Amino acid sequence: MLIVGFIGCLVLTSVLALIALFFVMSNSAVSLGVTYLVSMIFLLGIGCAAFATFTIFPMVRRFSEEKVEYAAKSETYRNAALTDSLTGLQNRRYFDDTLKEYMREFSAIGKPIGVIIIDLDFFTRISATYGHDNGDLVLRAVSICLQQQVRGHDILARLGGEEFAIVFPNVDEFSLAQLAERVRAAIEQIHLVLDGERVAISASIGAWRI
Protein backbone atom coordinates (compact mmCIF):
# COMPACT_ATOMS: atom_id res chain seq x y z
CA MET A 1 0.00 0.00 0.00
CA LEU A 2 2.85 2.37 0.81
CA ILE A 3 4.46 1.75 -2.57
CA VAL A 4 1.15 2.21 -4.39
CA GLY A 5 0.66 5.51 -2.59
CA PHE A 6 4.20 6.57 -3.48
CA ILE A 7 3.65 5.81 -7.16
CA GLY A 8 0.33 7.62 -7.07
CA CYS A 9 2.03 10.71 -5.67
CA LEU A 10 4.63 10.56 -8.44
CA VAL A 11 1.99 10.29 -11.12
CA LEU A 12 0.00 13.14 -9.58
CA THR A 13 3.14 15.27 -9.37
CA SER A 14 3.91 14.55 -13.01
CA VAL A 15 0.40 15.46 -14.09
CA LEU A 16 0.44 18.71 -12.11
CA ALA A 17 3.87 19.54 -13.48
CA LEU A 18 2.64 18.87 -17.00
CA ILE A 19 -0.33 21.18 -16.47
CA ALA A 20 1.97 23.83 -15.07
CA LEU A 21 4.32 23.38 -18.03
CA PHE A 22 1.51 23.96 -20.49
CA PHE A 23 0.51 27.01 -18.50
CA VAL A 24 3.94 28.61 -18.46
CA MET A 25 4.55 27.79 -22.12
CA SER A 26 1.30 29.50 -23.08
CA ASN A 27 2.01 32.50 -20.88
CA SER A 28 4.78 34.64 -22.25
CA ALA A 29 4.92 36.62 -19.01
CA VAL A 30 6.39 33.70 -17.07
CA SER A 31 10.18 33.82 -16.74
CA LEU A 32 12.47 31.32 -18.38
CA GLY A 33 13.70 30.16 -14.95
CA VAL A 34 10.24 29.18 -13.85
CA THR A 35 9.67 27.34 -17.11
CA TYR A 36 12.93 25.46 -16.64
CA LEU A 37 12.03 24.55 -13.04
CA VAL A 38 8.60 23.24 -14.00
CA SER A 39 10.14 21.26 -16.85
CA MET A 40 12.62 19.65 -14.48
CA ILE A 41 9.85 18.71 -12.04
CA PHE A 42 7.88 17.14 -14.88
CA LEU A 43 10.89 15.16 -16.13
CA LEU A 44 11.74 14.09 -12.59
CA GLY A 45 8.21 12.79 -12.07
CA ILE A 46 8.33 10.87 -15.34
CA GLY A 47 11.73 9.43 -14.45
CA CYS A 48 10.59 8.33 -11.00
CA ALA A 49 7.46 6.73 -12.44
CA ALA A 50 9.57 4.85 -15.00
CA PHE A 51 11.98 3.73 -12.27
CA ALA A 52 9.11 2.46 -10.17
CA THR A 53 7.55 0.66 -13.13
CA PHE A 54 10.68 -1.18 -14.21
CA THR A 55 12.41 -1.60 -10.84
CA ILE A 56 10.15 -1.33 -7.80
CA PHE A 57 7.13 -3.16 -9.24
CA PRO A 58 9.17 -6.23 -10.32
CA MET A 59 10.82 -6.28 -6.88
CA VAL A 60 7.41 -6.20 -5.19
CA ARG A 61 6.15 -8.98 -7.48
CA ARG A 62 9.19 -11.16 -6.75
CA PHE A 63 8.77 -10.54 -3.04
CA SER A 64 5.11 -11.61 -3.20
CA GLU A 65 5.99 -14.74 -5.16
CA GLU A 66 8.78 -15.63 -2.71
CA LYS A 67 6.39 -15.09 0.21
CA VAL A 68 3.86 -17.50 -1.31
CA GLU A 69 6.62 -20.03 -2.04
CA TYR A 70 7.94 -19.74 1.52
CA ALA A 71 4.45 -20.31 2.95
CA ALA A 72 4.04 -23.41 0.76
CA LYS A 73 7.43 -24.79 1.84
CA SER A 74 6.65 -24.10 5.49
CA GLU A 75 3.40 -26.05 5.18
CA THR A 76 5.26 -28.90 3.47
CA TYR A 77 7.87 -29.02 6.23
CA ARG A 78 5.16 -28.88 8.89
CA ASN A 79 3.30 -31.80 7.32
CA ALA A 80 6.54 -33.76 7.03
CA ALA A 81 7.25 -33.21 10.72
CA LEU A 82 3.85 -34.69 11.62
CA THR A 83 3.84 -37.61 9.16
CA ASP A 84 5.43 -41.04 9.35
CA SER A 85 7.67 -41.27 6.30
CA LEU A 86 7.30 -45.04 5.88
CA THR A 87 3.53 -45.44 6.03
CA GLY A 88 2.25 -41.94 5.29
CA LEU A 89 0.18 -42.03 8.50
CA GLN A 90 0.31 -39.36 11.17
CA ASN A 91 3.17 -39.85 13.61
CA ARG A 92 3.46 -39.95 17.40
CA ARG A 93 3.85 -36.20 17.73
CA TYR A 94 0.65 -35.53 15.78
CA PHE A 95 -1.19 -38.21 17.72
CA ASP A 96 -0.21 -36.82 21.12
CA ASP A 97 -1.03 -33.21 20.20
CA THR A 98 -4.37 -34.04 18.59
CA LEU A 99 -5.40 -36.41 21.36
CA LYS A 100 -4.87 -33.64 23.93
CA GLU A 101 -6.97 -31.30 21.84
CA TYR A 102 -9.74 -33.88 21.43
CA MET A 103 -9.73 -34.60 25.17
CA ARG A 104 -10.13 -30.92 25.94
CA GLU A 105 -12.90 -30.36 23.39
CA PHE A 106 -14.94 -33.49 24.12
CA SER A 107 -14.51 -33.19 27.88
CA ALA A 108 -16.05 -29.71 27.65
CA ILE A 109 -19.23 -31.15 26.11
CA GLY A 110 -19.28 -34.31 28.25
CA LYS A 111 -18.55 -36.78 25.44
CA PRO A 112 -16.14 -39.73 25.74
CA ILE A 113 -13.22 -40.60 23.51
CA GLY A 114 -12.28 -44.15 22.59
CA VAL A 115 -8.65 -45.17 22.06
CA ILE A 116 -7.32 -48.44 20.70
CA ILE A 117 -3.66 -49.42 20.57
CA ILE A 118 -2.60 -51.99 17.97
CA ASP A 119 0.59 -53.99 18.47
CA LEU A 120 1.53 -56.38 15.67
CA ASP A 121 2.26 -59.91 16.85
CA PHE A 122 5.69 -61.42 16.17
CA PHE A 123 6.75 -58.44 14.04
CA THR A 124 10.34 -58.53 15.30
CA ARG A 125 10.60 -62.18 14.33
CA ILE A 126 9.06 -61.54 10.91
CA SER A 127 11.49 -58.68 10.26
CA ALA A 128 14.45 -60.75 11.41
CA THR A 129 13.42 -63.77 9.34
CA TYR A 130 12.43 -62.07 6.10
CA GLY A 131 14.48 -58.88 6.27
CA HIS A 132 13.77 -55.27 7.11
CA ASP A 133 12.43 -54.49 3.63
CA ASN A 134 9.74 -57.14 4.05
CA GLY A 135 9.12 -55.81 7.55
CA ASP A 136 8.46 -52.42 6.02
CA LEU A 137 6.11 -54.08 3.54
CA VAL A 138 4.12 -55.51 6.46
CA LEU A 139 3.86 -52.10 8.12
CA ARG A 140 2.62 -50.47 4.92
CA ALA A 141 0.06 -53.25 4.36
CA VAL A 142 -1.25 -52.84 7.90
CA SER A 143 -1.40 -49.07 7.44
CA ILE A 144 -3.55 -49.42 4.33
CA CYS A 145 -5.81 -51.85 6.17
CA LEU A 146 -6.24 -49.48 9.11
CA GLN A 147 -7.03 -46.54 6.85
CA GLN A 148 -10.01 -48.52 5.59
CA GLN A 149 -11.34 -48.92 9.15
CA VAL A 150 -11.46 -45.27 10.23
CA ARG A 151 -13.82 -42.38 9.66
CA GLY A 152 -12.86 -38.90 8.58
CA HIS A 153 -12.71 -37.44 12.10
CA ASP A 154 -10.88 -40.39 13.67
CA ILE A 155 -7.16 -40.14 14.40
CA LEU A 156 -4.96 -42.87 12.96
CA ALA A 157 -1.24 -42.81 13.67
CA ARG A 158 1.83 -44.98 13.75
CA LEU A 159 3.31 -44.53 17.19
CA GLY A 160 6.58 -46.19 16.27
CA GLY A 161 7.90 -49.64 15.40
CA GLU A 162 4.98 -52.04 15.03
CA GLU A 163 2.61 -50.00 17.22
CA PHE A 164 -0.38 -48.07 15.85
CA ALA A 165 -3.19 -46.15 17.51
CA ILE A 166 -6.67 -44.97 16.60
CA VAL A 167 -8.80 -42.41 18.42
CA PHE A 168 -12.57 -42.70 17.99
CA PRO A 169 -14.35 -39.57 19.26
CA ASN A 170 -17.78 -39.79 20.89
CA VAL A 171 -18.07 -43.57 21.15
CA ASP A 172 -19.71 -45.70 23.82
CA GLU A 173 -18.11 -48.74 25.40
CA PHE A 174 -20.00 -51.31 23.33
CA SER A 175 -19.25 -49.54 20.05
CA LEU A 176 -15.59 -49.21 20.97
CA ALA A 177 -15.36 -52.96 21.61
CA GLN A 178 -16.95 -53.62 18.22
CA LEU A 179 -14.52 -51.26 16.51
CA ALA A 180 -11.54 -52.92 18.17
CA GLU A 181 -12.74 -56.37 17.10
CA ARG A 182 -13.37 -55.13 13.55
CA VAL A 183 -9.82 -53.76 13.35
CA ARG A 184 -8.34 -57.00 14.74
CA ALA A 185 -10.29 -59.11 12.26
CA ALA A 186 -9.32 -56.88 9.34
CA ILE A 187 -5.63 -57.21 10.16
CA GLU A 188 -5.95 -61.00 10.29
CA GLN A 189 -7.24 -60.89 6.72
CA ILE A 190 -3.86 -59.60 5.56
CA HIS A 191 -1.81 -62.38 3.95
CA LEU A 192 1.50 -61.48 2.39
CA VAL A 193 3.99 -63.53 0.41
CA LEU A 194 7.46 -62.84 1.79
CA ASP A 195 10.42 -64.53 0.12
CA GLY A 196 8.05 -67.04 -1.43
CA GLU A 197 6.29 -67.90 1.82
CA ARG A 198 2.73 -66.95 2.72
CA VAL A 199 2.79 -65.07 6.02
CA ALA A 200 -0.29 -64.29 8.13
CA ILE A 201 -0.44 -61.07 10.13
CA SER A 202 -2.14 -60.68 13.50
CA ALA A 203 -2.23 -58.05 16.24
CA SER A 204 -2.95 -57.61 19.92
CA ILE A 205 -5.34 -54.75 20.63
CA GLY A 206 -6.11 -52.80 23.76
CA ALA A 207 -9.10 -50.46 23.98
CA TRP A 208 -10.35 -47.99 26.56
CA ARG A 209 -12.38 -44.84 26.87
CA ILE A 210 -11.14 -41.52 28.18
Q: Would you call 117 exposed, middle or buried from its count of C-beta atoms within 10 A (0-12, 13-18, 19+)?
A: middle
Distance CA 155, CA 107 (A): 17
Kindly report the backbone phi and psi dihedral angles of residue 208, in degrees, each rounded to the nearest multiple of 5, phi listed first. -155, 165
Q: What is the 8-class DSSP label of residue 60? A: H
The single residue of 65, 75, 162, 173 carrying the catalytic annotation is 162
Going by the DSSP 8-state scheme, the letter that residue 55 receives in this structure is I
Helix axes 173-188, 132-147, angle to 10 degrees: 140
Chain centroid to CA 141: how far?
A: 25
101 is catalytic: no
- 114, β-bridge pairs: 168, 209
Angle between helical axes of 123-130 and 132-147 (0-180°, round to 10): 140
**How far apart (Å, rounded) are the C-alpha atoms in residues 95 and 137?**
22
Task: Measure Cα distances from 190 to 38, 85, 121, 183, 186 in Å.
Answer: 86, 22, 13, 11, 7
Annotated catalytic residues are 162
